[in-house]
């Protein structure tokens, strides 16, 4: 035991409480355990505690873990920046990609996804604060990009993801999440069948849940500090 079981129990309670406080159903908020830079034994403890969804942000480390734990029934989410020359290995090993920001990357994933694996679930990462150093589609491009990705075979466009600039207060944290939610509603009004808002981490999950997050990506609160 490395404490992960207890951490998971606590964070699940906190997520449920945030959902209820927000007037939402706890089962509509899913916990993605971000296992990047965490050792395998912690992931194995999380699996024993019932966790099924794991997030990795580099192709090499993520693929190694997927391969080592291949016998388990898990869903692996790629949440890092994806270079277009590394799409094949992600298309072959992962169940989700949260960080699509270019049509080119989506097209490559679409053509490289093995038929045997079923559709790859994808979200468009939106550079919600318009930060010059951050990846993500610009807000001006989101709607067109979503319409084009939705037509690609072997991909299932599930929704939008963001990684906002750090804000201190709960009220400030809600602002970018509310904006991402608005973009998702525009896409739904246009007829796209999306159901996912991937937003919120250890420091801001409560604000994200108040603004409609359906997947929160939590690392530190589940596994403790990361190895460097």
Ligand X SMILES: *Cc1c(COP(=O)(O)O)cnc(C)c1O
Applying CB under 6 A, the residues found at the interface with ligand X are: 34, 36, 57, 79, 163, 201-203, 217-220
- Of 19 and 218, the one with the shorter C-beta distance to ligand X is 218
Q: Is 163 exposed, middle or buried (0-12, 13-18, 19+ CB in 10 A)?
A: buried
CB-nearer residue toward ligand X: 160 or 163? 163
Residue showing the smallest CB distance to ligand X in the complex: 219
Compute the least distance from the CB of residue 12 to ligand X, in Å. 14
CB of 29 to ligand X, least distance (A): 15
Dist CA 175 CA 165 (whole Å): 11
Q: Which is nearer to ligand X, 36 or 206 (by Cβ)? A: 36
Shortest Cβ 58–ligand X spacing (Å):
10
C-beta of 26 vs 224, nearer to ligand X: 224
3-state secondary structure of 207: helix
Rounded Cα distance between 228 and 219, Å, is: 14
Closest CA to 94 of 120, 123, 112, 68: 120
Which residue from 198, 221, 222, 209 is spatially nearest to 47, judged by alpha carbons? 222
Minimum CB distance to ligand X smaller for 201 or for 209: 201
The C-alpha atoms of residue 83 and residue 72 are separated, in whole angstroms, by 28
Q: Which is nearer to ligand X, 194 or 199 (CB)?
A: 199
Q: Name the minimum Å distance from CB 115 to ligand X.
A: 29
CB of 120 to ligand X, least distance (A): 18
- Nearest alpha carbon to residue 23 among 212, 176, 203: 212
Closest distance to ligand X from the beta carbon of 151 (Å)? 26
φ/ψ of 96, rounded to 5, equals -135, 150
Contact (Cβ atoms closer than 8 angstroms) between residue 173 and residue 167: yes
């Amino acid at each position: 035991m490395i404490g992960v079981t207890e951490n998971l129990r606590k964070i699940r309670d906190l997520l449920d409480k945030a959902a209820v406080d927000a007037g939402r159903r706890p089962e509509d908020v899913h916990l993605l355990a971000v296992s990047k830079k965490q050792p395998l034994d912690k992931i194995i403890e999380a699996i024993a505690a019932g966790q099924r969804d794991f997030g990795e942000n580099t192709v090499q480390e993520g693929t190694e873990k997927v391969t080592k734990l291949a016998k388990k029934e898990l869903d692996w989410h790629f949440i890092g920046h994806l270079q277009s020359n590394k799409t094949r290995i992600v298309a072959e090993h992962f169940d989700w990609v949260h960080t699509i920001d270019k049509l080119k990357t989506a097209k490559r994933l679409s053509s490289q996804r093995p038929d045997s694996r079923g559709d790859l679930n994808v979200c468009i990462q939106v550079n919600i604060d318009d930060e010059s150093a951050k990846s993500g589609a610009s807000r001006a491009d989101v709607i067109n990009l979503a319409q084009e990705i939705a037509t690609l075979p072997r991909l299932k466009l599930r929704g939008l993801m963001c990684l906002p600039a750090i804000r201190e207060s709960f009220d400030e944290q809600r602002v970018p999440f509310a904006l991402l939610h608005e973009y998702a509603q525009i896409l739904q009004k246009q007829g796209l069948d999306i159901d996912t808002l991937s937003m919120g981490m250890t420091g801001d999950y409560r604000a994200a849940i108040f603004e409609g997050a359906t997947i929160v990506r939590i690392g530190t609160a589940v596994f403790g500090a990361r190895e460097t």
